[in-house]
Amino acid sequence: MQIQDFINTIEEWAPTSQAENFDNVGLLVGDPNLNLTGALITLDTTEQVVIEAIEKNCNLIVSFHPIIFSGIKKLTTNSYVEKTVLKAIENKISIYSIHTSLDNHVEGVNYKISEKLGLKNSQILIPNKENNHIGMGRIGDLEKSLEEKEFLEFLKIRMNTTSIRHSCLLNKKIKKIAVLGGSGAFAIKNSIEQKADAYVTADLKYHNFFEANKQIVLIDIGHFESEQFTKNLIHDYLKKKFPNFAIILAYTNTNPVNYF
């Protein structure tokens, strides 16, 4: 099987056409006509992930985030992006990014989060204007209402994090939850309009928390933490499609954020 054959299967599931316009998805590095020896599934592509691919005889890395996002004008060793791309090229390893193709998928990144939280009757938070079967975020209900602090503890356990930032608590029960993995400040208004009690996302800035306006509890669980189960989603799907092929979940922890 050639790398392109494998890519075709990915794109039947999460077409690049449903990615956001700002994004950089698809095959970013490598020759699609090479025979595939194995695929390593990761959230991010780093130099260490490329080393892991070499160790495991995988000549394709399927990464959620794109290693090349904006233009590259040179290939030296001055940045982690350049080092990673060079290492991949030197070892004939291809890199494919799925990113917002999967963010917009009806059973993609945010479906996985809603599944981890056990949300019932979840729907797309912001449907695509041209195709309402795809879109950003999810919104659904907890099986039972929780006190605010009880929900925060529940969230820590389910999303495997010890650190949460949130807007002021409102002394009311939490039942309806909006979620959006990664940077989700743009969907605060949508979450309020759809009367979510809490909105779980990442990368909220200082002034974003004011936008809660005592109407919702805004919760920032961290970018990596919000998307950490995405690589499992990709791995599990591809493993079902190719049960007898080497599709390996990367062990490298790519979270660049450390906590003290």
Query: DSSP per residue over 85-99, as a string?
Result: HHHHHHTT-EEEE-H
123, part of any domain: yes
Residue 169: inside a domain, yes or no? yes
Are 75 and 7 in the same domain?
yes
Do residues 138 and 198 both lie within one domain?
yes
Q: Give the pTM.
A: 0.95
Residues 31-42, mean pLDDT to the nearest whole number: 97
pLDDT at res. 74: 86
Say whether both 110 and 179 belong to one domain.
Answer: yes
Q: Are residues 204 and 110 in the same domain?
A: yes
Give CB contacts under 8 A, 24+ apart, made by 144-152.
144/175, 145/173, 145/174, 145/175, 146/173, 146/174, 146/175, 147/173, 147/174, 148/172, 148/173, 148/174, 148/198, 148/217, 150/174, 151/198, 152/219
Supply the CATH number for residue 37's domain. 3.40.1390.30
Q: Which of 102, 125, 142 is the last residue of a domain?
A: 102
- Express each pLDDT in 140-191 by its tens digit: 999 999 999 999 999 999 999 999 999 999 999 999 999 999 999 999 999 9
108 and 222 inside one domain: yes
**pLDDT value at 260 more than 90:** no
> 117 and 221 in one domain?
yes
| Residue 196 in this model has a pLDDT that exceeds 90 | yes
Position 73 confidence tier, pLDDT thresholds 50, 70, 90 = confident
114 and 134 share one domain:
yes
DSSP letter, residue 36? P
Confidence of residue 70 (pLDDT cuts 50, 70, 90): confident
| Integer Cα distance of 89 and 102 in angstroms | 26
Three-state DSSP at 82 gives: helix
| Mean pLDDT calculated for residue range 17-44 | 97
For residues 116 and 218, membership in a common domain is answered with yes
Containing structural domain, residue 9: 3-102
197-208 residues labelled b (16+ CB within 10 A) or e (exposed): bbbbbbebeeeb
Q: How many percent of the chain have pLDDT more than 70?
A: 100
Residue 77: predicted pLDDT: 86
Give Cα separations from 222 to 12, 64, 67, 200, 258 (angstroms): 30, 16, 19, 10, 11
Q: Does residue 91 lie in a domain region?
A: yes
Judgement on whether residues 87 and 188 belong to the same structural domain of the protein:
no
pLDDT of residue 8: 98
Pair 16, 86 in one domain: yes
Total domains in the chain come to 2
Burial code of 241-256, b = ≥16 C-beta within 10 A, e = fewer?
Answer: ebeeeebbebebebee
Q: Which residue has the tokens 């389910």?
A: 158
Interval 24-30 mean pLDDT: 97
